[in-house]
Homo-oligomer: A and B are copies of this chain.
Amino acid sequence: MTITQQELSQRLENFRNKSRQEHLPLTPQKSAIFQAIASSCEHPNVSEIYQQVKSEFPNISLATVYNNLKKFESLGLIVEIPVPGEPSRYDAKLEIHSHAVDSAAGRVYDLENPQSLSLPKKLFGKTVKHANLIYYL
C-alpha cells in the first residue's frame, strides 16, 4: 500500500510550513524522520523509524528519534496509534479516520470512517479533540 505523490507532497509541505511557523530549524535528520512516517501507509513504530533513518544517517541516535516524535506530535504533524501489547505506531495522515490493527501480521491499516459515525463535539463538558476507532483483527 503506497500513498499518492500528491498526498506526500502535501504532507511534506505542511511539515516545512509548520517548522517555519514555529521558527524551528529544519535539519536533514528531522526531515528523514518525518518522511519515514509520511511516505507510506506502514504506520511504523519507533524502532522501524530508527532503522529506516539509520540507513541514511548511520550516526543517528535513538534519542533523537524519540525527541522528534514528541515534537511532531505536539505540533500536530503526526498522531500516535497505541497498540495493545506492542510499542505505539505513528501516522502522518491528519484527516480523522480509523485503524484496523492486525496484531498477528504486525500491521495497521487506514480506514475511512463509516458514514454512520457522527462524532460528538463534546463529552463530559470537554471538547473532543480527536477520535480513533480501532478494529482488532
What's the number of copies of this chain in the assembled complex? 2
Among B82, B102, B117, B136, which residue has its beta carbon within 8 angstroms of that of A84?
B82
Contact status of A128 and B124, CB under 8 A, knowing A80-B85, A82-B83 = no
One digit per residue, 1 when the CB lies within 8 angstroms of any chain B CB and 0 when it does not, for chain A 73-94 equals: 1000000111111001000000
- In this assembly, does A114 line the interface, its C-beta being within 8 Å of a C-beta of chain B? yes
CB contacts (< 8 Å) of A131 on chain B: these are 133-136
- In this assembly, does A118 line the interface, its C-beta being within 8 Å of a C-beta of chain B? yes
Contact status of A132 and B133, CB under 8 A, knowing A82-B83, A116-B117, A118-B114 = yes
- In this assembly, does A21 line the interface, its C-beta being within 8 Å of a C-beta of chain B? no
One digit per residue, 1 when the CB lies within 8 angstroms of any chain B CB and 0 when it does not, for chain A 103-137 equals: 00000010100101111100110111111111111
